[in-house]
């Protein structure tokens, strides 16, 4: 029996799930919610290189995962934080209305029984600045730039590639050099496929000012 997978994501332009047989499930057609987490701490967080993802702590919503269903607004994807929270900082005029802080996007989808034993990818076409993605309430993906991201079940970190066509880091699996993409393998949908208990995929978007000296 299929079970519900809660998917909580942030700042997404395109989001798909790919199974090993190349069939695609488009998650952008689902109902989504966006939630502002005013009490979340982030300003003093350390930034990590992608290969160091296993060192990152889990950072759940400040009021627990349930706050994502209880608060926020229903939206459609694609979406941005600014279109829903412009002026939340008290300045709703001109170009100063962007809110600095933590936001969550969330939705639910069904894990398919025929995914069992197959390679499954969770694909983000683009995220902007710092994004944390959780699977079953455990950190599965992390990005602090403007790259695309793919999260898959299987091995640990697969590769990081730069747009200057030079491979920066790789293990286990090779993808074409020059693809600006990150693949991380902490995606675990086993529970969702094999039982009636709900599983979750979670991501957090952190918007902050970037200062260059």
For the stretch 178-205, pLDDT in tens is 333 333 344 455 555 555 444 444 545 5
The answer to the question of residue 80 being in a domain is: yes
The answer to the question of residue 117 being in a domain is: yes
Contacts of 145 (CB under 8 A, 6+ apart): 129
The answer to the question of residue 22 being in a domain is: yes
> Number of folded domains in the chain?
1
Cα–Cα distance, 162 to 19 (Å, whole number): 26
- Residue 78: cis peptide before it, omega within 30 degrees of 0: yes
The answer to the question of residue 64 being in a domain is: yes
Domain that holds residue 81: 4-207
The answer to the question of residue 133 being in a domain is: yes
Q: What is the CATH number of the domain that holds 29?
A: 2.60.120
Q: Kindly report, residue by residue over 7-25, the tens digit of the pLDDT.
A: 444 434 445 555 555 677 7
> pTM of whole model > 0.85?
no
User: Mean of the pLDDT values across residues 127-137?
Assistant: 67
Contacts of 76 (CB under 8 A, 6+ apart): 31, 32
The answer to the question of residue 182 being in a domain is: yes
Q: Does the pLDDT of residue 4 top 60, yes or no?
A: no
User: Mean of the pLDDT values across residues 52-77?
Assistant: 78
The answer to the question of residue 212 being in a domain is: no
- β-strands 121-124, 167-170: how paired? unpaired
Higher-pLDDT residue of 140, 155: 140
The answer to the question of residue 213 being in a domain is: no
Cα–Cα distance, 203 to 139 (Å, whole number): 8
Cα–Cα distance, 180 to 127 (Å, whole number): 12
- What's the whole-number average pLDDT of the chain? 59
């Amino acid at each position: 029996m299929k079970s519900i997978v809660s998917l909580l994501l942030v700042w997404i332009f395109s989001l798909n799930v790919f199974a090993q047989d190349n069939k695609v499930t488009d998650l952008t057609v689902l109902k989504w919610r966006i939630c502002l987490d005013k009490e979340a701490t982030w300003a003093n967080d350390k930034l990590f290189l992608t290969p160091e993802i296993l060192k990152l702590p889990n950072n759940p919503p400040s009021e627990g995962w349930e706050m994502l269903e209880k608060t926020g607004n229903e939206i459609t994807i694609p979406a941005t934080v600014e279109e829903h929270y412009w002026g939340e900082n008290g300045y709703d005029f001109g170009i100063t209305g962007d809110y600095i802080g933590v936001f969550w996007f969330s939705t639910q989808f069904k894990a398919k029984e025929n995914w069992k034993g197959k390679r499954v990818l969770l694909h983000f076409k683009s995220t902007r600045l710092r994004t944390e993605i959780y699977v079953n309430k455990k950190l599965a993906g992390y990005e602090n730039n403007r790259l695309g991201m793919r999260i898959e079940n299987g091995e640990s970190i697969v590769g990081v590639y730069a747009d200057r066509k030079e491979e920066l880091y790789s293990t286990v699996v090779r993808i074409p050099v020059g693809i600006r993409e990150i693949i991380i393998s902490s995606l675990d949908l086993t529970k969702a496929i094999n039982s009636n208990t709900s599983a979750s995929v979670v991501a957090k978007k952190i918007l902050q000012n970037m200062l260059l000296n």
